[in-house]
Amino acid sequence: MIRLTSLLFVFFITTLLSGCDKKDEFSSLSRILERGYVNVGTVFGPTNYYSTATGFAGFEYELAKKYAQSLNVELRIIPSYSIDELFIKLNTGEVDVLASGLSITKKRQQRFRFAPIYETITQKLVFKQGKVRPRKIEDLTGRLMVTSGSNYVENLEKLKKKNSGLTWQETTEFDIEELLAKVLSDEIDYTIIDSNSLAINRSYYPEISIGFSIDKPEPLAWIVSKNSHDDILASLVEFFGSVHQDGTLLGLDDKYYAHVEQFNYVETRTFIKAVTNKLPLYQTLFEKYSQEIDWRLLAAISYQESHWNPKARSYTGVRGMMMLTLATAKQMGVKSRLDTEQSIQGGAKYFKRMIAKMPDRISSPDRIWFALASYNIGFGHLNDARIITQRQGGDPDRWVDVKTRLPLLQQKKYYKKTKYGYARGEEPVKYVDNIRRYYDTLSWLDNKSQEQAIALALALEEKKLEKQRSLVTTEVTTAVNEDVDKNERVNESEK
């Protein structure tokens, strides 16, 4: 009896302690600070987290880095292709926070806790251009497929209550980019995508058209577990208050979305066609003279300037692939602006000079955007806009602040107080946005081309190995058959 009581006591204490341990598994600020890192879960994609030639990028990734820095801990990204998988990891404590452009919905509010709102998006039903545009749910006549675990499913379930004929398929196999490709290949008729993600993807898939918005605008927020401690949520409240106040969110929004908000179908299609037909003629020259800058950025500048036309000429007298003035060409050692190689070499040299002129305290990518604006409007006019920005309380070292003041150079009450006077300040803003858009599209196409080349090389290598295995199998089979025949002949002779 005493032994049984002792065992029960031990069991009770063990259960109590394990319960405490279980509680400690979930996120708390003190636990994060003690171990020195924060685990942030996100879904792979162009708005969240993706790999580039120079490292990782993505709106959510950069915001998560800022959060880790605010806590003075290391950021550990836990990426996934499935939001359902991340929800599980959040509930088991493997992930501290989910940062993946997630909407606040009633069902999710029952399961999780939300940090402050930082963005608002709408869900767009999209289809292939050239087909009949659906303007409401009742117009859907084909196959609709959406990602499983997404808030699209929750909204579709609500819509089905009033539209009993509404049907859709859910997939865990394909991400949103693959679903857009399926729409274009006629494998499915419709899919649903968030407006911010659509803005980016239309630069790569211009034939994607918008049917209608699925629901009213939805707020986005980071998510923590219901079991998480209050201190981690408090840290997120403080963090988002800070990034709203100091312009971090505004800067990230400009970096990832501002230049793709205005979509032009014809312009995008023309550029993609030029990448196929014209760029191969000049790519080696862009690579040769780009040196420390990305050759694709140099190519994007050239396309904005001349549409890759070596004989291009404007009404202002600038000419060639990089549309150099006579004065600039002379400074850069260009003897003939119509010589393709000389023009690219001179344009690259001039652009690098613009980058070098920027104060060291201006970091990339703002440094690049300022250099592009200087390439277009001149260093003096850019500095005038930066001075106006400072006078108005903005940050003269941030492109997102300066670009809103550049158009003021067209207004007399502003330009009369500047050193270099009047300038068409709207032009460099559009110029930089266009180049950024071309650069994004070119980078995406180039990466896709490399992926396809690698896949083809692997397929050829596998085919080669399969052929070698087949030859070996044939040789072994032949050798075995010869041995069998030899043994049979020996047996026959012995008989």
Beta-carbon count within 10 A of 331 CB: 14
Task: Name which of 245, 256, 8, 216 is nearest 124 in CA terms.
Answer: 216
Residue 305 is a catalytic residue: yes
Burial 112-123 (b: 16+ CB within 10 A, else e): bbbbbebbebbb
State how far the Cα of 391 lies from the Cα of 402, in Å rounded to an integer. 11
Residue showing tokens 């008989």 = 495
Residues 72 and 37: their CA atoms lie apart, in Å, by 9
Phi then psi for residue 167, to 5 deg, are -135, 155
Gap between the Cα atoms of 275 and 256, Å rounded? 22
Q: Which of 297, 322, 270, 310 is nearest to 446 (CA)?
A: 297
Between CA 54 and CA 57 the distance in angstroms is 9
Give Cα separations from 322 to 21, 259, 272, 350 (angstroms).
Answer: 65, 22, 19, 10
Q: What is the dihedral of CA 175, 178, 184, 189, to 10 degrees?
A: -40
Is 99:236 a contact under the CB 8 Å cutoff?
no
Q: What DSSP state is assigned to residue 325?
A: -
Which of 305, 461, 462, 494 is catalytic? The answer is 305
| Ramachandran angles phi, psi of 332, nearest 5° | -90, 0
Angle between helices 279-290 and 340-357 (to 10 degrees): 40
Q: Which amino acid is at 160?
A: K
Which residues are catalytic, by number?
305
